[in-house]
Structure 1
Amino acid sequence: MTNASIRPRANRRRRIAIVSSIAAALGLIFPIATSSYYAWRSAREAQELRLELVASKVAERARIALVQANAALEGLAASDDTPCSAEHIALMRRFTLNTLSVEEIGYMDGSQVRCTTWADSYFDEPARGADFVLNGDVQAFVGMHSHIPGSAPMLGLRKNHYLVLVNAERFTDITVPAGVQLAFLRSGSPVLSHTRDMPEDMLTQVAGGKTPIDEDGHLLRKVDFDGWSAVAIGPSESRSEIGLQLELLLPVGLLSAAIALVLVVKLSRRRLSPLAELRLALRRKEFLMHYQPIVNLTNGRLHGVEALIRWQRPDGDTVRPDLFIPLAEEHGVISDITAVVFKMVAADLRDVLRAHPQLHVSINLSAQDITDPNALKTLRAQLEAAGIKPAQVWLEVTERGCVAVGVAADSTLAQARAAGYQVAIDDFGTGYCGLQYLQKLPLDTIKIDRSFVQTVATDSVTSVVLPHIIQMSHSLQLSIVAEGVETQAQADYLQQSGVQYAQGWLFSKALPLHELKQYVERDAAMK
């Protein structure tokens, strides 16, 4: 064999060796790089989902509060009482107490405040121009203060002679994931409300319309409505979450490029919008039920339970209903979730309710459920199959839901009561329906929102609202359930005030089914 024939073979082997080395390197590097990238991307999109849902909740709270404030202005404008007379001040107080978002109402003559909800003396308000105008004729003033000493800066809304003060801090006073900051503002105006520990530089960026994304390691999600903006800012991604993703992907990626490609496909499926994730969770049946006991305040015995849905994601994280329910309502998926709740409640509680006919289960209905003619039919079919009596089921609807659907609420709730269900209005006091509207609804029970229960034995201005709600419920001959009871002092006050039932951590947290059955057995043994 000549040197000429050996040289091409050597070159060919060299080329094969080089190509093989490159292919081997790519086969090793590509799965690792791909796995690392998708781990980062998945963690980032999970954070984007959390921020978008939190910002949506702030926007919804603010929208409702502004609607309430505008309704108060319209209602006061229709009054023919003599300004600042005893009857006039009493009217302003009623609007203040019946409207959760309003802290104080004042009657003004030019720049002079003639009287307010809490004061009947004359004093001058420093002259200033409106920061912006809403609805064409409502002047808005940022940074105003109530005439109650120590009050926080508020948003003032003035129309003609009336000025209402709205506590904007409530817009961002919600539970958020660690490291997440919230802000609420009007375009071109100062920030109205923000979380207390929000850094000054971040606050300045948001007020200036900047978006602190990536450059300082943060993500921003903003929800706009009618010129307002709700902003949620958080770390762009969690290192611990990225590490968890890498622990799952990296070992598999090292095996071969083919396996890595399969994993990429699976990870791509996880790159979904929040709505797509929710719909996928419905198909995968990722939901489960917890049940919070409702007790009789007179004897401490179990009276019933409230069914609460939970979203248990495959990675073990639990998504709270106050985050995914608004998303489901916005995109018309709520009826599918309600059907899941009906089915799971009937399957879970059939033995418990049949063995203890004195107990009931409360099920929450959304505004869309109230207008859905199939909702009651679906519920009836599930209950009949499980042998559960309609009298053992309470249907809970919110004030906001009833007002949103109007006449449909009256009709559906009347049908529900005719079928034997009890009807309760949930989170009472947080919406904007007054006594006159409440009298029209076919109700059996009022559930007082936990925010009012928390004011028991405090100096909070809103602590005067709770007795008013209880008195109103008694006048309508409705039973009362107090939510969020956490101390014995709260329970004692509620019982002495004539509240029959309560739920909250003082008695029990929301329980999974097996723990609920143990609770029921312990309660039954008390006979």
Structure 2
Amino acid sequence: MIKRMSLISAYIALGCAATVLPVLFSIYIANEDVTRREQRDLRQYAEKAVMRTELVTYQGFAAIADLQAEHGAPCSPEYLGRAAHVIFNYRYVRDAGAYGDGRYLCSPLFGDVRAQDVALPPPRWRSNDGYLVWFQQKNPLSDVREDIQIGRNGEYVSIDPQSYVDVMDPAGRPIATINTDLNSIVALSTGADPDEMLHAWKRAGRVDSDEWNYAVARSTTRALGVVVKGRRTSLLRDWPGLLAMWLSMGVALGAGFGWFAFKRISRQVSFQATLEWVIARKAIDVVYQPIVRLASNECVGVEALARLNLNGRDISPDIFIAVAEQTGLIQPLTDLVLEKTLDELTELLCSRPSFYVSVNVSSEDLRTPRFLKIITAKLARTGIRPAQIRIEATERSFLNADATRQTIAAFRSAGHPVYIDDFGTGYSSLAYLQTFMIDVLKIDKSFVDTIAQQAASSIVAPHIIDMAHELGVEIVAEGIERNEQVEYLLRRGVQYGQGWLFAKAMRREELVAWLEARRASHAPAQPAIQ
């Protein structure tokens, strides 16, 4: 009897271990995954904050240039009128005027003060290109208000420091903007501790904390950086309590939760095998979204997009493409999209030599000539011109700059134009564009959505457009849904657009019928939405 009880106890212990340990292990894995996701999200948030600092600084420089463009004598009525115009036109500028010999001279805010000798202390920092910056500069009319003041050649503008940290974030995570030359704080979001944020900056975000994660990012164009922090989530903080709970609930309940955890993990793990099976059997569908010349409403090409349907349920491309990138399946997926595109559109492309199709390429295929060799082989004897097959790559594909630059040059030498897709959503620094030879820049839908609105991010689209014009590359605006967006983009010199206003993504048969209907009618296409 004692031996039997011991055996039963052993089975109970093994049953508890078999159910509790996998659950605890699952909790540990989930905790590690949560930590990775939080760090990745925080780094992306820091990159967006850097872009904000660049844009606000850019606006300050533009305001000074506008102030210096043409005006009467310093502090004349014409000059003050011009300064008032600058303040009104630039969202983040709170004051603008003249200074000299260590004192304020005049501004629309406090008038002509040359006779009052209002002192202006020496600037805290001077940039390599001659801009002077005062941090926490007290306004002569207030003992409370402190501005960031930027000056050059006797003209200055004052900017609200909160403009540098006013990044849209539902979680309200703290931000600090840093001058990287001085390692000092430029601006701080409400509630952030300056000593803590500066300490995190100096340690490059590597701060031991059970409660907070930190991330830093630097501007590549200005001596600016940001440090952000977000609350840390931990599933293992109360692991003794978790263990006691599972042991007390027993084998039956533990088995139920263990089965649920097993099924959940199995479903996640098995998706890789399912995707591999789908690609091997060429069960990925390809649809085509038209790209339209805005000035003439002519469809000049299409973008090939992968679609996946499993058991009657559409799987979001954000999901299966991310899994393909993480599991090494992205290259066979890209090859399949190219193969299906050529099978379906060869006749159309040959009949319209100026028509093209763009194919999205992963970062893996921007580091080696593998995909270029595949395209070259498949185009042989088809009659399709290389310029009719165009390459689209996202910003994050450009991180390995040296290898990427060489591969992009090879694509372009072979006659394939290169696009940057979803611009503005990745590694927000804009300077790297000058080091790459590209043909087209695509503005992400999130920025096109803000056109003609008062959102803080509405200044990003015109900033990107201006930079594209300066670099001499063409522009495609994604996600166009309203006629006023088209009117705005045309005024700003944007050449092409795509979105539901023109047509949704279509299968090959629908695309051919759509194009034929446009050709037959000799009339602009009817918008897909109103």
**For this structure pair, what is the TM-score category when the shorter chain's length is used for normalisation?**
0.5 to 0.7
Using the alignment, how far apart are the partners of 2:277 and 2:217 within structure 1? 47
Matched, 1:63 2:43: yes
Using the alignment, how far apart are the partners of 1:301 and 1:514 within structure 2? 19
Using the alignment, how far apart are the partners of 1:60 and 1:72 within structure 2? 19
Note the C-alpha offset of 1:64: 3.4
Note the C-alpha offset of 1:351: 1.2
Q: Deviations over 1:280-327 (max 9, x none)?
A: 2212322010111111111111111000001222x1112122112222
2:42–2:214 contact (8 Å) kept in structure 1 = no
1:140–1:157 contact (8 Å) kept in structure 2 = no
Per the alignment, residue 137 of structure 1 pairs with 203
Matched, 1:186 2:183: no
The 3 A distance-change label for structure 1 pair 437 and 127 is: closer
1:101-180 to structure 2, matched below 5 A, reads 105=177, 116=187, 130=196, 134=200, 137-138=203-204
The 3 A distance-change label for structure 1 pair 89 and 367 is: farther
1:336-351 to structure 2, matched below 5 A, reads 336-351=332-347
Q: Which moved more, 1:281-290 or 1:129-138?
A: 129-138
Q: TM-score, normalised by structure 2?
A: 0.58
Q: 2:500 aligns with which of 501, 505, 523?
A: 505
Note the C-alpha offset of 1:372: 2.9
The 3 A distance-change label for structure 1 pair 79 and 289 is: same
Per the alignment, residue 482 of structure 1 pairs with 477
Using the alignment, how far apart are the partners of 1:56 and 1:156 within structure 2? 12
Note the C-alpha offset of 1:432: 2.3
Per the alignment, residue 86 of structure 1 pairs with 151
The 3 A distance-change label for structure 1 pair 475 and 487 is: same
Using the alignment, how far apart are the partners of 1:90 and 1:410 within structure 2? 40
Note the C-alpha offset of 1:389: 1.2
Matched, 1:352 2:344: no
Per the alignment, residue 450 of structure 1 pairs with 445
Per the alignment, residue 487 of structure 2 pairs with 492
1:83–1:107 contact (8 Å) kept in structure 2 = no
1:282-431 to structure 2, matched below 5 A, reads 282-313=279-310, 315-402=311-398, 404-431=399-426
Note the C-alpha offset of 1:382: 1.9
Matched, 1:436 2:436: no
Using the alignment, how far apart are the partners of 1:104 and 1:128 within structure 2? 8
1:100–1:430 contact (8 Å) kept in structure 2 = no
SS at match of 1:86: strand
Q: 1:279 aligns with which of 276, 281, 286?
A: 276
The 3 A distance-change label for structure 1 pair 510 and 479 is: same
Note the C-alpha offset of 1:436: 3.2
Q: Deviations over 1:119-164 (max 9, x none)?
A: xxxx9978676389657625799xxxxxxxxxxxx999699xx996
Using the alignment, how far apart are the partners of 2:231 and 2:47 within structure 1? 16
SS at match of 1:525: helix
Structure 1 vs Structure 2: percent identity of aligned residues? Answer: 34
Q: TM-score, normalised by structure 1?
A: 0.58
Using the alignment, how far apart are the partners of 1:83 and 1:489 within structure 2? 39
The residue type paired with residue 151 of structure 2 is A
SS at match of 1:447: strand
Using the alignment, how far apart are the partners of 2:407 and 2:158 within structure 1? 35
The 3 A distance-change label for structure 1 pair 96 and 385 is: farther
The residue type paired with residue 467 of structure 2 is M
Using the alignment, how far apart are the partners of 1:126 and 1:272 within structure 2? 40
1:106–1:164 contact (8 Å) kept in structure 2 = yes
Note the C-alpha offset of 1:385: 4.8
Using the alignment, how far apart are the partners of 1:447 and 1:372 within structure 2? 23
Using the alignment, how far apart are the partners of 2:518 and 2:227 within structure 1? 45
The 3 A distance-change label for structure 1 pair 525 and 448 is: same
2:395–2:420 contact (8 Å) kept in structure 1 = yes
Q: Deviations over 1:34-87 (max 9, x none)?
A: xxxxxxxxxxxxxxxxxx99998876554333456589999x999565433336
Using the alignment, how far apart are the partners of 1:348 and 1:442 within structure 2? 30
Using the alignment, how far apart are the partners of 1:157 and 1:272 within structure 2? 33
Q: What is the aligned residue count? A: 374
The 3 A distance-change label for structure 1 pair 209 and 442 is: farther
The residue type paired with residue 444 of structure 1 is D
Using the alignment, how far apart are the partners of 1:397 and 1:83 within structure 2? 38
Per the alignment, residue 109 of structure 2 pairs with none
The 3 A distance-change label for structure 1 pair 138 and 104 is: closer
2:50–2:217 contact (8 Å) kept in structure 1 = no
SS at match of 1:273: helix
1:342–1:382 contact (8 Å) kept in structure 2 = no
Q: Deviations over 1:153-204 (max 9, x none)?
A: x999699xx9967899xxxxxxxxxxxxxxx8425xxxxxxxxxxxxxxxxx
Note the C-alpha offset of 1:384: 2.4
1:311–1:321 contact (8 Å) kept in structure 2 = yes
Per the alignment, residue 258 of structure 1 pairs with none
Using the alignment, how far apart are the partners of 1:383 and 1:100 within structure 2? 46
1:360–1:392 contact (8 Å) kept in structure 2 = yes
Give structure 2 stretches of 5+ with no counterpart.
1-31, 58-124, 135-149, 208-212, 243-256, 258-265, 523-530
Using the alignment, how far apart are the partners of 2:490 and 2:389 within structure 1? 24
Note the C-alpha offset of 1:473: 0.7
CA RMSD of aligned residues (A): 5.1
1:100–1:429 contact (8 Å) kept in structure 2 = no
The 3 A distance-change label for structure 1 pair 333 and 125 is: closer
SS at match of 1:457: coil
The residue type paired with residue 374 of structure 1 is R
SS at match of 1:83: strand
The 3 A distance-change label for structure 1 pair 521 and 66 is: same
Note the C-alpha offset of 1:398: 1.3
Matched, 1:461 2:456: yes
Using the alignment, how far apart are the partners of 1:209 and 1:83 within structure 2? 49
1:363–1:394 contact (8 Å) kept in structure 2 = yes
Per the alignment, residue 117 of structure 2 pairs with none
